[in-house]
């Protein structure tokens, strides 16, 4: 199946052309979504053996994440879906990052930036989410570390110095690539979701906001 995925929820993201494996995967900084995403995608499709009419599924990131980034990805994905008359599916970003740890059997805490001094928290343990979308102040994070856990996500990158100082020896912080949502993982999750739902056509995509954006929000 030829799948186009658009990951635009965080500070780092991009797109993937997937056809039983990665054909093209591009990752860049989120501040470049508005200038690079559409043009880079157009170039990638035109330089590959693909045609726009051959894409069978569009998958977009749902959040939590940047309000601006999510709007850019959703708008581009919906436009391609409508023009090409193909399904559009959205996947929560925390599910995409969880994919980085599929081979790791260890409690996982994911943190996403919220407003200043706050993070959106998700906790995975024993093959299920035990906490989803709790908004907490960063200084309250130690109360969720009753035993050693892997801690990841862009919220960890943002508050890494504080976390390393306050939670030294209590958490495992993985390398950079484990903290970001990969477009290729998004593509695979979209395929799995489509098979579960049995969709042949239609649109299923909406941003996942845990706080409503305020006037003046740029994230």
| pLDDT tens track for 65-74 | 988 889 999 9
Range 103-178 classified under CATH 3.30.420.80: no
Q: Give pLDDT, residue 59.
A: 96
pLDDT, tens digit (0-9, with 9 covering 90-100), for 176-204: 999 999 999 999 999 999 888 655 555 66
State both tokens at 59.
Answer: 């998958």
What is the predicted pLDDT for the residue at 164? 94
Q: Residue 28: its pLDDT value, please?
A: 87
Q: What are phi and psi of 150, to 5 degrees?
A: -80, 135
For domain 2-93+180-204, give its CATH number from 3.40.50.300, 3.30.420.40, 3.40.50.720, 3.90.226.10: 3.30.420.40
The pLDDT value recorded for residue 108 is 96
Closest CA to 110 of 101, 121, 100: 121
Instruction: Give the C-alpha separation, 180 to 91, whole Å.
Output: 14
pLDDT of residue 209: 74
Enumerate the CATH 3.30.420.40 domain ranges in the chain, comma separated. Answer: 2-93+180-204, 103-178
Say what the pLDDT of residue 91 is. 94
Which pLDDT belongs to residue 66?
87
Q: What pTM did the predictor assign?
A: 0.90
DSSP state at residue 65? S
What pLDDT sits at residue 214? Answer: 53
Stretches in the chain below the pLDDT threshold 70 = 30, 197-204, 211-219
Nearest-angstrom CA–CA distance, 34 and 42 = 14
């Amino acid at each position: 199946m030829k799948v186009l995925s658009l990951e635009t929820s965080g500070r780092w993201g991009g797109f993937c052309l997937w056809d039983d494996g990665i054909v093209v995967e591009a990752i860049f900084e989120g501040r470049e979504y508005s200038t690079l995403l559409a043009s880079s995608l157009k170039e990638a499709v035109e330089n590959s053996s693909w045609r726009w009419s051959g894409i069978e599924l569009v998958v977009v990131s749902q959040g939590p994440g940047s309000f601006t980034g999510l709007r850019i990805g959703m708008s581009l994905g919906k436009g391609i879906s409508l023009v090409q008359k193909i399904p559009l599916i959205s996947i929560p970003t925390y599910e995409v990052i969880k994919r980085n740890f599929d081979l790791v059997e260890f409690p996982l805490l994911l943190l996403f930036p919220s407003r200043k001094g706050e993070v959106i928290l998700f906790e995975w343990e024993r093959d299920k989410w035990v906490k989803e979308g709790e908004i907490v102040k960063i200084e309250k994070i130690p109360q969720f570390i009753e035993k050693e856990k892997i801690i990841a996500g862009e919220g960890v990158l943002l508050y890494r110095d504080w976390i390393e100082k306050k939670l030294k020896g209590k958490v495992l912080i993985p390398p950079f690539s484990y903290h970001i949502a990969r477009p290729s993982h998004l593509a695979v999750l979209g395929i799995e979701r489509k098979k579960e739902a049995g969709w042949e056509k239609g649109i299923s995509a909406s941003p996942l906001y845990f706080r409503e954006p305020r006037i003046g929000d740029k994230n």
